[in-house]
Amino acid sequence: MRCRAGLRQRLVLGALALGALAVLAAGISLYGLTRTQALAAEALAAQRRIEAYGTLSARVNEWVLATLASADDGARARGIVLAVLDQLDRLVVEDVATAPSAAEAAIRGRQGVTVGRIRGQVEQLGKALATTAPGTPAGDAALAFYATQVPPLAAAQVQQEGLRRDEALAAMEALQARLFGLAVGVGLAAPLLLAGLYLALLRPLFARLAAATAAAGGLAAGAPPSGAGRHDELGLLLARLRLTAARLARDRARLEATIAERTAALSEANARLSRADIQRRRFFADVGHELRTPLTVILGEAELGMRQADDTLRPSLATIQSRALRLFRRIEDLLRIARSESGQLELARGPVALEAVVQAALADAAPLLARAGVMARADLPAMTVTGDGDWLRQVLGGLLENAAKYAGRGTSVAVTGRAEAGMAVVAVADTGLGLPPERLAAIFDRFSRGDAPAPGFGVGLALARWVVEAQGGSLGAESPVGGGLHLTLRLPLAETEVPWPAS
């Protein structure tokens, strides 16, 4: 426990030393200010008392002269003399009140005796001047007695006050010298203490902190910190960093082994999936080839039979031909979707009769719509667009199948169209419940699906948007307040009038 607290103790001691130095400087400043104020006040009070004694002598002389002039002037001058004596009494009382001790207060209180004797001499002179006039033997005797008594008392008191004033001023000078020496000492001690703390504590601590920082940074590269370190907090930190580095190295090795194992397993799984995908596409191609060959024969034989058969057999052969042609289109749709899943979109763009595409899509989706109980109708003008007719048929069939899956039984879906700014606008709108805004924004995501899966040969909405955009168009969706889902398909109008399918 002692070794762990060493660094903390040194830091605390350094902080205490700096704090003590700051407290010492503050104490010196406070003591100097307080003591200087006291000495200045004492010197100033002594000077006021000296001035009061000087004023008393001048006012007594004015009193005597005023008495020679007239009795009234003498009375007024005597009142001024008494006021000066009252001021001396107040100054003596204030001096006694500020004495630092009882003994000093007794010494200072003796001034009051002197002021009292002077007051008595002034009153005796006043009585003498009231009964006799200056210039008479009695008046001259009273003035002579006053002159032999009061001026020596006042002079002695003035000399004493002057000594006190000079002592206070000398003490102030001595105090200033002592404070200057203390200030110089504190000013020298502060940088020396800081330098000592830096050299003995802070610089080694900063160096060790830098080493600890470098060691912590090396943990990311797996390099453990070196050196035993001291037996204190930083030494304990470095020891824990070394343990952490060792654990990280072991965990890194296990993680790298796990990653290598999982990578190998993932590579093997990807290889298996690639092989399965190749086999799946080959299977579709083989199935398509195997099915298209007999269907081609059936279509040819049905067409030949229709030319040679009578009226009773011709309807049956026409039914066989239409069903075989529909199955042929389904096989082509499956192969086309399978190729698009690999990221390869093969388009045969050209003029396409939009109404024929819509009718073909309605025919493809008719069984699904009938089973779902959804009525469908189409109302759009004759328009020719530029695109791949088979892909557009699948896209529209997918939009209709979407209505069959999610609109709900008893609803209807309408396919309408118009020409607008060089584009053919086809709207597929159902009367179902529609979608909330949070789900509407995700219906074109690649893996977004509804809650009611249903079979069909159309394409999903994500693939439908991809196909339409690859043909220079756009596909959007909205769900109005009244309900239902409205899908809007925009395709560029064609400049020629060659319809799809080509005959």
CATH architecture of structural domain 6-209: Up-down Bundle (1.20)
- Residue 355, amino acid: E
- Topology of the domain covering 223-344: Helix Hairpins (1.10.287)
For 449-484, the pLDDT digits (tens) are 444 443 444 457 887 888 888 888 999 998 886 678
Highest mean pLDDT, choosing among 151-155, 324-328, 340-344: 151-155
Indicate the pLDDT class of residue 89, thresholds 50, 70 and 90: confident
* Distance between CA atoms of residues 388 and 419, nearest Å: 19
Q: For the full predicted model, state whether its pTM sits above 0.75.
A: no
- Please, what is the Cα angle at 209 between 207 and 215, to 5 degrees? 105
pLDDT at 1: 38
Least confident of 77-91, 92-106, 285-299, 476-490: 285-299
Considering the chain, what percentage of its residues have pLDDT values greater than 70? 78
- Summarize the confidence of residues 54-69 as an average pLDDT: 74
Q: What is the DSSP letter of 224?
A: P
Least confident of 71-85, 349-363, 365-379: 71-85
pLDDT at 424: 93
For 294-321, the pLDDT digits (tens) are 777 677 777 777 777 777 777 777 788 7
Q: What is the DSSP letter of 501?
A: S
Token code pair at residue 389: 């007719």
Which sequence spans correspond to the domains of the chain?
6-209, 223-344, 349-492
- Summarize the confidence of residues 245-255 as an average pLDDT: 81
The CATH classification number of 349-492 equals: 3.30.565.10
Indicate the pLDDT class of residue 502, thresholds 50, 70 and 90: low
Asked whether the predicted pLDDT for residue 282 surpasses 70, the reply is: yes
- The number of CA neighbours under 13 Å toward the Cβ of 207 is 8
Least confident of 29-38, 59-68, 350-359: 59-68
pLDDT at 452: 42
Q: How far is CA 30 from CA 27, 43, 185, in A?
A: 5, 20, 16
Q: What are phi and psi of 446, to 5 degrees?
A: -60, -40
Highest mean pLDDT, choosing among 73-82, 169-178, 438-447: 169-178
User: pLDDT higher for 393 or 216?
Assistant: 393
Q: What is the DSSP letter of 199?
A: I
pLDDT at 375: 93
Long-range contacts of 439-446 (CB under 8 A, 24+ apart): 440/477, 440/478, 440/479, 443/477, 444/475, 444/477
Residue whose tokens read 């009244």: 482
The residues pairing with 477 across neighbouring beta strands, listed in sequence order, are: 487
Helices (H) then strands (E): counts for the chain: 11, 7
Kindly provide the b/e burial profile for residues 251-289, where b requires at least 16 CB atoms within 10 angstroms of the residue's own CB: eeeeeeeeeeeeeeeeeeeeeeeeeeeeeeeeebeeebe
From the number of C-beta atoms within 10 Å of its C-beta (0-12, 13-18, 19+), residue 169 rates as middle
* Distance between CA atoms of residues 262 and 254, nearest Å: 12
Asked whether the predicted pLDDT for residue 221 surpasses 80, the reply is: no
Q: Which residues contact 137 (CB under 8 A, 6 or more apart)?
A: none
- Residue 166, amino acid: D
Token code pair at residue 393: 């048929």
Asked whether the predicted pLDDT for residue 228 surpasses 60, the reply is: no
- Summarize the confidence of residues 193-197 as an average pLDDT: 81
- What is the side-by-side strand order in the sheet with 486-492? 375-379, 412-420, 423-430, 486-492, 474-478
pLDDT at 503: 43
User: pLDDT higher for 85 or 340?
Assistant: 85
433 contacts 498 by C-beta, under 8 angstroms: no
For 255-276, the pLDDT digits (tens) are 888 999 888 888 888 888 878 7
105 contacts 124 by C-beta, under 8 angstroms: no
The residues pairing with 413 across neighbouring beta strands, listed in sequence order, are: 376, 430
Comparing CA positions, the residue from 430, 395, 399, 433 lying closest to residue 412 is 430
Asked whether the predicted pLDDT for residue 427 surpasses 90, the reply is: yes
Q: How far is CA 85 from CA 28, 70, 128, 382, in A?
A: 41, 23, 19, 132
223-344 and 349-492 in the same fold: no
Average predicted confidence (pLDDT) for the chain? 78
For 108-143, the pLDDT digits (tens) are 777 777 778 777 877 777 777 667 766 667 666 766
Highest mean pLDDT, choosing among 137-141, 337-341, 486-490: 486-490
* Distance between CA atoms of residues 61 and 67, nearest Å: 10
Indicate the pLDDT class of residue 81, thresholds 50, 70 and 90: confident
Residue whose tokens read 């194992």: 261
Indicate the pLDDT class of residue 448, thresholds 50, 70 and 90: low
- The number of CA neighbours under 13 Å toward the Cβ of 70 is 3
pLDDT at 341: 57
Least confident of 69-73, 76-80, 163-167: 69-73
